[in-house]
Amino acid sequence: MDEFERRWVNLASARLGASAIDCSDDFFAPMHRMLKDEPPVFIEGKYDDHGKWMDGWESRRKREFGHDWCVVKLANPGIVKGFEINTEHFTGNYPPAASIGGCYCESDDLGDMQWRELLSMTALQGDSRHFSSVNDSAVYTHVRLNIFPDGGVARFRVYAKPSIDWSQYGQGQLVDIAASLNGGVAMACNDEHFGSIRNLLMPGRGVNMGDGWETRRRREPGNDWVLISLARAGVIRQVVVDTAHFKGNYPESCSIQGASFPNVAEDTLEDSSGNWPELLPRTQLGADAEHRFSEEVVDRGPVTHVRLNIFPDGGVSRLRLLADVSGS
């Protein structure tokens, strides 16, 4: 997991609701593929009506002046922290350079969009992942990826802090402060052999067993765990642990620990997390079920980070942490 994924939410994720709304050209591969969450793949010998099938966005070879572009509507408005432009599997057909603009616009009308440069023209290489940081405090709703002059991009990520109006939640009104759409980030774990920890905080229920966090079979003492940076501080009142689709491989039980670290470097928290106070004592889980806990949850005041422990191993589809944020 790279540093951007450990700290921020990819607001260009199709699963979170981002969409590619327009582009100059996507003759060889449609623009929406660029926003897929799973890593890009290459399928030898696969062709469609336009040529070689590629897992990303690919324009035709440009024969006139200009360059190609694609406009992406973010899943939520947010403060952009960085980008990833991924050209994996594009070797003789990648763009040599790219730039990125951003705008805040309440409509999807391209005529209303006034672009501000977030990334100046940057050289790209084929079959590579390119990361760039952004130092800008403005909130953006759309970004425009420009490629020069044409070519293919496998994946495009926009890492950002979602802009949420927390004042809309009154006292006693609960909100999921672990949700990716609100800014929750699964930042570290001891194992994710079969399924990514980022799946835990996605919207909705898991669609299959691959749409969750699953560890390998543990053959040594101990238990598996994941650390989560919450969208903001809150007093957790209800916990939802969903083992949807996990039937012969769900954890026997789980517990949750939490603490408040508003001004501590997050990369220092892993070693101490096993000593944090319990929010949810070790509690038995069942197969393929949504488990809701409220009376069992211990009030530890506002917390900013949690550790989900599963015993001894297995798979969890979703984790929801419903909290009161009114006094935080």
For residues 155 and 70, the answer to whether their CB atoms sit within 8 Å is no
- Neighbouring CB atoms inside 10 A of 212's CB total 28
Check: CB of residue 28 under 8 Å from CB of residue 50.
yes
Buried b (16+ CB within 10 A) or exposed e, 100-133: bbbbebeeeeeeebeeeebbeeeebebeeebebe
Structure tokens at 229: 């940076």
Per residue, what are the HEC states of 185-221?
EEEEECCCCCECHHHHHCCCCCCCCCCCEECCCCCCC
| 44: DSSP letter | T
Helix (H) or strand (E) holding 5: helix 3-7
- Both tokens of 111, joined, read 């005529």
**Is the predicted pLDDT of residue 5 greater than 90, yes or no?**
no
DSSP 64-121: SSS-EEEEEEEEEEEEEEEEEEE-TT-SSS--SEEEEEEE--SS--GGG---EEEEEE
Strand-pair category, 47-48 with 97-103: unpaired
The SS3 of residue 300 is coil
Given a contact cutoff of 8 angstroms between Cβ atoms, the answer to whether 257 and 279 are in contact is yes
Question: pLDDT per residue over 95-113, tens digit each?
Answer: 999 999 999 999 999 999 9
Phi/psi for 65 (5° steps) reads -65, 145
Residue 247, beta-bridge partner list: none
User: What percentage of the chain carries pLDDT values higher than 90?
Assistant: 91
Three-class SS of residue 246? coil
CA distance 142 to 106: 10
User: How many whole angstroms separate alpha carbon 240 and alpha carbon 262?
Assistant: 24
Query: Residue 91: is its pLDDT beyond 90?
Result: yes
Q: Is there a contact between 254 and 289 (Cβ–Cβ < 8 Å)?
A: no
Residue 43 has pLDDT above 90, yes or no: yes
Tokens found for residue 313: 């191993």
Domain 3-162: state its class: mainly beta
Token digits of residue 133: 């940081």
pLDDT higher than 80, residue 2: no
Closest CA to 249 of 301, 302, 286: 286
pLDDT score at 270:
87
309: helix, strand or coil: strand
Please report which confidence band the pLDDT of residue 15 belongs to, taking 50, 70 and 90 as the band edges: very high
The predicted pLDDT at position 328 comes to 63
The CATH 2.60.120.260 portion of the chain extends over: 3-162, 167-324
User: What are 171's two structure tokens?
Assistant: 């006292």
Contact 31, 71 (CB under 8 A): no
Name the percent of the chain lying above pLDDT 70. 98
Beta carbons of 221 and 265 less than 8 angstroms apart? no
- What digits encode the pLDDT tens for the residues 151-202? 999 999 999 999 999 999 988 899 999 999 999 999 999 999 999 999 999 9
CATH class of segment(s) 167-324: mainly beta
Contact 140, 102 (CB under 8 A): yes
Neighbours of 200 (CB within 10 A): 26
